[in-house]
Amino acid sequence: MSFTIQIKEEISSIETSKSEMIAELSGYIRNNHSSEKKEIALTTENKFLVDRITSFIEEMYKIKAKVDIINNANFSKKELFEITIPENIKSIYFDLGIKNNKGEFLETPPDYLIEGNAELRAYLRGAFLQSGSISDPNTSGYHLEILIFKSSEAVFIQKILNSFDLNAKILSRDKGYMLYIKEADKISDFLKIIGANKAVLYYENIRVFKDKKNQTNRLNNCEQANIDKVVQTAHDQLKEIEIIEKNDGIVLLDDKVKEAIFYRKKYQESSLKELAEIISIETGKKITKSGLNHRFRKIKDLAKNFKKMNEESINKNK
């Protein structure tokens, strides 16, 4: 069972008030129905949604909705259920804020239908039950989307989402408009809003695990980068010492710098800090990392001068 199906199954068991039922039915039917004049037809692959929608219709309107299994045009192995509401169509549409009393389609539901926080959440729940999906954080990245057919409805739902500070965005698609959220904390907030508490726990556990794993990887990368830097620095210093020795330049250096050369050649893989500690212990004379670095700058400058002199000599003899 996919993560999205688990979420939808969980929120399909939420008990609601009548005003929440109306808001949820509105969000679901507005984004699902393909109606004729005499009936409302809804389709879903999920049996638990069939049970929820038919029970809402029966409780609110005392109508026994008809349920059939029809051909699945999506070539899915799952059965496709069609829920048909055969009567009181005009009053249901009006009640759910889908059409006005003249039978004209409303671009967005009236304010009174979703005036409360609970009703806003219920409307989002209905829209998500119809065409929403959330990727499993354990197997892929963080992604939530809700596919909406009408632009006005997409903008309307985006405003609701962003009233909860979810930073939802819209992309135009061939078959409609995709509302999406990619921030992990915002997706977790959305799950809380629609009442998917079990899904929130699962999502947050995966998120914490991933964050810790990423933090460990970053620390390991930093540690490796520091090791590489130490190795490279030591390698460069040994090359500079080699240039000075080949040019008999050791005699030009004072005893402290000669001491630095001796210990660098003896402890070739040590960092500057480690080398300063070793020299301090073995000689009994305290030297800081900064002081040792000053000695190696003298070595670098002398090696640079010898290298320049050698290059000039080669160019002169060409």
Domain boundaries, the chain: 3-195, 225-310
Q: Left (φ > 0), alpha (ψ -120 to 50) or beta: where does 75 sit?
A: left
CA dist 97 → 27, 51, 106, 160 (Å): 10, 22, 7, 16
Please tell me the predicted confidence (pLDDT) of residue 159.
Answer: 95
Measured from the Cβ of residue 285, the count of other Cβ atoms closer than 10 Å reads 10
DSSP single-letter state for residue 251: G
Task: Quickly tell me which residue has 């004729």 as its tokens.
Answer: 36
| Assigned CATH class of 3-195 | alpha beta
With a cut of 70, which residues of the chain have pLDDT below it? Answer: 33-37, 73-77, 318
Please tell me the predicted confidence (pLDDT) of residue 38.
Answer: 74
Please tell me the predicted confidence (pLDDT) of residue 73.
Answer: 66
Alpha helices in the chain (DSSP H): 3-11, 18-30, 47-61, 89-95, 117-131, 151-163, 184-193, 197-246, 255-266, 272-283, 289-317
- Apex CA 272: angle with CA 270 and CA 289, to 5°? 145
DSSP single-letter state for residue 106: P
Distance CA 31, CA 20 (A): 17
Please tell me the predicted confidence (pLDDT) of residue 74.
Answer: 64
Instruction: State both tokens at 176.
Output: 């409609």
Distance CA 30, CA 157 (A): 12
The answer to whether 125 and 8 are in contact (CB under 8 A) is no
The answer to whether 234 and 270 are in contact (CB under 8 A) is yes
DSSP single-letter state for residue 195: T
Residue 204 phi, psi (nearest 5): -70, -40
Residue 62 phi, psi (nearest 5): 55, 35
Instruction: List strand residue ranges (DSSP E) for 62-155, in order.
Output: 66-70, 80-85, 132-134, 144-148
Q: Can you name the residues that pair with 261 across neighbouring β-strands? A: none
Specify the pTM. 0.68
Measured from the Cβ of residue 238, the count of other Cβ atoms closer than 10 Å reads 14
CA atoms within 13 A on the CB side of 214: 6
Please tell me the predicted confidence (pLDDT) of residue 215.
Answer: 76
Instruction: State both tokens at 102.
Output: 């003249």
By three-state DSSP, how is residue 174 classified? coil
Please tell me the predicted confidence (pLDDT) of residue 212.
Answer: 75
